Amino acid sequence: MTMTAQTASLATPVSKSLRRKRIRGSSIAVLVFLAMWAAFVSIPLYVVIVTSFKTMDQVALGQVFALPTEWTFEPWRKAWSEVCAGMTCEGVSHGFWVSMKILFPSLLISIGISSVTGYALALWKIRWAGTFLFILFLCAFVPFQIIMIPLVVLISSLGIFGTIWAVAIVHSVLAMPLLTLIFRNFYKDVPEELINAAIMDCGSFWRIFFEIILPMSANIMIVVLILMITTVWNDYLIGLVFGGVGTQPMTVILANTVITSFGEVQYNVDMAAALLTAIPPLIVYFAVGKFFVQGITAGAIKG
Amino acid sequence: MPEIEFNNIVKRFGRVTVLEDLNLQVDDGEFLVLLGPSGCGKTTLLNMLAGLQEVTGGSIVIGGRDVTDLDPKDRGLAMVFQSYALYPTKTVRGNLKFGLSVQKLDRAEIERRVAWAANLLQIDKLLDRKPAQLSGGQRQRVAIGRALVKNVDVFLFDEPLSNLDAKLRTEMRLEIKQLHQELEKTIVFVTHDQVEAMTMASRIAVMNGGVIQQIATPDEIYERPANLFVAQFIGSPAMNTLKATVERADGSVSAVHAPTGARIDLSAYSFSAAPKDGDAVIVGLRPEHFSIGCNGHADAGAYFSLPVRYTEKTGSDVTAFLDSGDGGLIAVRFDHKHHHVPKMGEMVEIHFPKDRFDIFDAASEKRI
Ligand SMILES: Nc1ncnc2c1ncn2[C@@H]1O[C@H](COP(=O)(O)OP(=O)(O)O)[C@@H](O)[C@H]1O
Ligand SMILES: [Mg+2]
């Protein structure tokens, strides 16, 4: 009230107060939207978290929003090492290690190859580079489901179907078009004179890559790492299709755990298993998330 | 013996022809400056010499060896770039060393060369810094150092001073000139700045539109420009050019500038091809050769009395722009100690010495 009284005495009171009101109106809309979105995400999350700490006796009461009357880590322990997925009963821990074993080769292959390809496309004069880029661009938008069955045939003929390598290689290959485009876009901002200087100094494709270009790539590496870790870790379909017995990633084990039940459904254990599966990407986000934004916005050369 | 030869060089980008049948020779130990306006093909020519761009046609010879199809690193050249192009993640030392590590030199020799270049360019205290921690002038020195350590016979510079402020540019100009005198290596230096060219070059190749207009010493370029383009590109303010008609009468040659009615006495000019009566010519008059004031000179070949449009003062020099009657301006430069600065609209009398004209054919724009 005092605010409007003050502005009224100014030269252009009407327009000023109008603009202020409009800002307030739109920010209310934004706040409402954000609040709804937050509720939409956090209410189920809250239920999952509290349920994972409840005893089965309390779960059976059906009060999903109630806090645990008696906090217990038992569901977490069971989920990690005892719960049954299909025939085997060794918890999601086995899946965790399988996921890890899939993750590292996937990262290495996909980032290794696509960074070099992106570097070659961006900084070396390559015949048909434009055409190649366009094809990559198209490939990046082909849904996995369309090529899934031919891929199964292909991978089987390589004799690695059902192994960790099958899952890792499929992940790498599918990620490569997008990653190559990301790397190429990053490297094309490297000044032409810089690469010319390196060519005159040394001329070796690999030495220039490892000594000059790669050390400049920290920002984009973090972006690509986070991108790949989350896609590979959260993937279900590729792991389900290409993983065999004992080589299925954590997400597949989780799903099997939830499906498999003997008698009473152990909601608390299921929730704990789900949380265990979701935690690793979260840790990555918290650890390097702030570099992610920095990496997306920064170019190859600092100011 | 020429160190570098460009033979019938053609360069096309798709259907655009940048250079057509260009020939150029650079002598051993020479400081050759490629001078021309932006976009005339200087960088393209230099990059082809360095091997960074392929020639469409023709051949390049360095030190008697045909290098047309050789990789850049095998051509025995070092280059300094306009943006310095230092490796951002390497220290100054790392920048200097990178080009040496492929030359299979032993460690002691590498250290010796780095120390030598660092000492020569006074960057010894900066060796452990990253490029981002250096000022523009320091980066420039490192870029030169990176070329020097390679101990090659030919150095290429592509507008290396254009990112420096005026004071640093003057300093670096002198330093590069001194380096050339000390090292006695061949230098090809690209610039669009005529002052750089005039002060540093042992010879200047003036380029325009992908064509070399004239190759000569700075004095020759200034005194006897081969055509109108060179005449107007060199000198500041630019040479005045008046369209005039030749009149021959009983042995004397003169040219009449119709708008001012001035008769220009060409009897002291040594024509390479004598013009006929009635020929259209362009008479070039450098602003700095005029004398101003009413005390007439015996050797004056042209006299004008014209109103002042405006004046520009730069330190001790004044440039007055006089209305030449046909909408054009005649620039006159003089020292304001010798004559007061004229006011706008004031009539001033100017004389031009007989032996200082540059005469060009009006159609071909070539010197006659
Ligand atoms: N990669 C390229 N593709 C097409 N045209 C080019 C390319 N590089 C240079 N050019 C053209 O060649 C001409 C000469 O360029 P450049 O050698 O850079 O000029 P300068 O260095 O004298 O300013 C310019 O007109 C430019 O547009
Ligand atoms: Mg250029």
The whole-number pLDDT of residue A258 equals 85
The whole-number pLDDT of residue B297 equals 65
Is A4 part of a structural domain of the chain? Answer: no
Is A146 part of a structural domain of the chain? Answer: yes
Is B213 part of a structural domain of the chain? Answer: yes
The whole-number pLDDT of residue A59 equals 86
Task: Say if residue A235 is exposed, middle or buried (CB neighbours under 10 Å; 0-12, 13-18, 19+).
Answer: buried
Is A30 part of a structural domain of the chain? Answer: no
pLDDT in tens, B250-279: 778 899 998 888 889 988 888 888 888 889
Same domain as B206, residue B153? yes
Mean pLDDT of A172-195: 93
Task: Confirm or reject contact between A57 and chain B (CB < 8 A).
Answer: no
pLDDT in tens, B307-338: 999 999 888 889 999 998 888 899 999 888 87
DSSP B250: T
Provide the domain limits for residue A227: 93-256+280-300
Residue B314: give its domain's CATH number.
2.40.50.140
Same domain as B138, residue B284? no
Residue A122: give its domain's CATH number.
1.10.3720.10
Measured in whole angstroms, how far is the alpha carbon of residue A194 from the centre of its chain?
33
Q: Token pair of B242, please?
A: 């008046």
CB of B38 closer than 6 angstroms to any ligand 1 atom: yes
**In this structure, are residues B353 and B298 in contact, taking their beta carbons and an 8 Å threshold?**
no
CA-CA-CA-CA torsion for B18, B19, B25, B31, nearest 10 degrees?
A: -20
**Count of domains forming chain B:** 2
Same domain as B180, residue B53? yes
- Residue that finishes a domain, picked among B207, B233, B259: B233
Is B258 part of a structural domain of the chain? Answer: yes
Is B292 part of a structural domain of the chain? Answer: yes
Task: Please check the confidence at residue B302 and state whether its pLDDT lies above 70.
Answer: yes
Q: Token pair of A35, please?
A: 């609040």
Banded pLDDT at B96 (limits 50, 70, 90): very high
Banded pLDDT at A2 (limits 50, 70, 90): very low
CB of B47 closer than 6 angstroms to any ligand 1 atom: no
Is B366 part of a structural domain of the chain? Answer: no
Cis previous bond, A150, omega within 30? no
**Three-state SS for B276?**
coil
Q: Token pair of B164, please?
A: 């420096």
Residue B82: give its domain's CATH number.
3.40.50.300
Mean pLDDT score across all residues of chain B: 91
Complex-level ipTM: 0.86
Specify the higher pLDDT residue, A87 or B204: B204
Q: Which residues of B touch A191 (CB under 8 A)?
A: 83, 85
Is B368 part of a structural domain of the chain? Answer: no
User: What percent helix, strand, coil does chain B show, rounded to 5?
Assistant: 25, 35, 35
Contacts of A30 (CB under 8 A, 6+ apart): none
CB of B18 closer than 6 angstroms to any ligand 1 atom: yes
DSSP B220: H
The 8 Å CB, 24+ separation contacts for B175-183 are B176/B144, B176/B200, B177/B31, B179/B120, B179/B144, B179/B148, B180/B31, B183/B148
The whole-number pLDDT of residue A36 equals 94
Q: Ligand 2 centre and the CA of B67: distance in Å?
A: 22
Interface test with B, best of A193, A201, A205, A221 (most B CBs within 10 A): A201
Tell me the C-alpha to C-alpha distance, in Å, between residue A95 and each of A26, A77, A243.
47, 15, 11
Q: Give the amino acid at B124.
A: D
Same domain as B65, residue B16? yes
Inter-chain residue contact A196 with B87, CB threshold 8 Å: no
Task: Please check the confidence at residue A17 and state whether its pLDDT lies above 50.
Answer: yes
The whole-number pLDDT of residue A10 equals 44
Same domain as B165, residue B268? no
Is B297 part of a structural domain of the chain? Answer: yes
Which range among A61-65, B150-154, B155-159 shows the weakest confidence by mean pLDDT?
A: A61-65
Same domain as B244, residue B222? no
Pairing verdict, β B252-257 and B300-314: unpaired
Pairing verdict, β B154-158 and B77-80: parallel
Is A220 part of a structural domain of the chain? Answer: yes
Portion of chain A with pLDDT greater than 90, in percent:
58
Q: What number of other Cβ atoms are within 10 A of residue B368's Cβ? A: 18
Beta bridge partners of B283: B242, B359
Task: Please check the confidence at residue A22 and state whether its pLDDT lies above 90.
Answer: no
Mean pLDDT score across all residues of chain A: 87
Same domain as B181, residue B55? yes
The whole-number pLDDT of residue A300 equals 55
Provide the shortest C-alpha distance from residue A213 to chain B (in Å). Answer: 9
Is A181 part of a structural domain of the chain? Answer: yes
The whole-number pLDDT of residue A6 equals 44
Contacts of B210 (CB under 8 A, 6+ apart): B11, B17, B18, B19, B20, B22, B40, B41
Q: What number of other Cβ atoms are within 10 A of residue A34's Cβ? A: 10
Portion of chain A with pLDDT greater than 70, in percent:
89
Banded pLDDT at B119 (limits 50, 70, 90): very high
CB of B213 closer than 6 angstroms to any ligand 1 atom: no
Provide the domain limits for residue B132: 4-233
Task: Please check the confidence at residue A187 and state whether its pLDDT lies above 80.
Answer: yes
- Show the CA angle centred on residue A49, arms to residues A47 and A52, nearest 5°: 105
Same domain as B23, residue B101? yes
Mean pLDDT of B179-207: 94
Specify the higher pLDDT residue, B236 or B216: B216
Banded pLDDT at A3 (limits 50, 70, 90): very low
- φ and ψ of B358, to 5 deg: -125, 125
Task: Confirm or reject contact between A12 and chain B (CB < 8 A).
Answer: no
**Count of domains forming chain A:** 1
Classify each residue of A116-149 as buried b or exposed e, where b means 16 or more C-beta atoms within 10 Å of its C-beta.
bbbbbbbbeeeeeeeebbeebeebbeeeeeeeee
The whole-number pLDDT of residue B324 equals 86
Q: Kindly list the strands in the beta sheet with B77-80, ordered across the sheet, starting from the edge strand earlier in the chain.
A: B77-80, B154-158, B186-191, B31-35, B203-208, B211-216
Rounded CA separation B83/A198 (Å): 14
Task: Please check the confidence at residue B156 and state whether its pLDDT lies above 80.
Answer: yes
Task: Please check the confidence at residue B187 and state whether its pLDDT lies above 90.
Answer: yes
The whole-number pLDDT of residue A140 equals 86
Tell me the C-alpha to C-alpha distance, in Å, between residue B161 and each of A244, B105, B170, B248, B345.
65, 31, 9, 49, 40
- Residue that finishes a domain, picked among B181, B209, B233: B233
The whole-number pLDDT of residue A5 equals 42
Same domain as B328, residue B183? no
Is B118 part of a structural domain of the chain? Answer: yes
Same domain as B244, residue B110? no
- Residue that finishes a domain, picked among B209, B233, B257: B233
Rounded CA separation A281/A94 (Å): 17
Rounded CA separation A126/A120 (Å): 8
Residue of chain A whose alpha carbon sits nearest to that of B72:
A200
Provide the shortest C-alpha distance from residue A121 to chain B (in Å). Answer: 17
pLDDT in tens, A120-147: 999 988 888 889 989 988 988 888 899 9
Q: Token pair of A23, please?
A: 């800002």
- Show the CA angle centred on residue B86, arms to residues B108 and B105, nearest 5°: 20
Q: Which helix (H) or strand (E) holds B244?
A: strand B240-249
Interface test with A, best of B77, B81, B104, B140 (most A CBs within 10 A): B81
Q: What is the 3-state secondary structure (H, E, C) of A281-293?
A: HHHHHHHHHHHHH
In total, chain A counts a number of residues equal to: 303
pLDDT in tens, B3-42: 899 999 999 999 999 999 999 999 999 999 999 999 999 9
pLDDT in tens, B34-56: 999 999 999 999 999 999 999 99
The 8 Å CB, 24+ separation contacts for B5-8 are B5/B59, B5/B60, B5/B61, B5/B62, B6/B45, B6/B49, B6/B58, B6/B60, B7/B58, B7/B59, B7/B60, B7/B61, B8/B57, B8/B58, B8/B59
Is B367 part of a structural domain of the chain? Answer: no
Pocket test for ligand 1, best of B16, B158, B206 (most atoms within 8 A of CB): B16
pLDDT in tens, A224-247: 999 999 999 999 999 999 988 888
Same domain as B217, residue B182? yes
CB of B39 closer than 6 angstroms to any ligand 1 atom: yes
Same domain as B259, residue B223? no
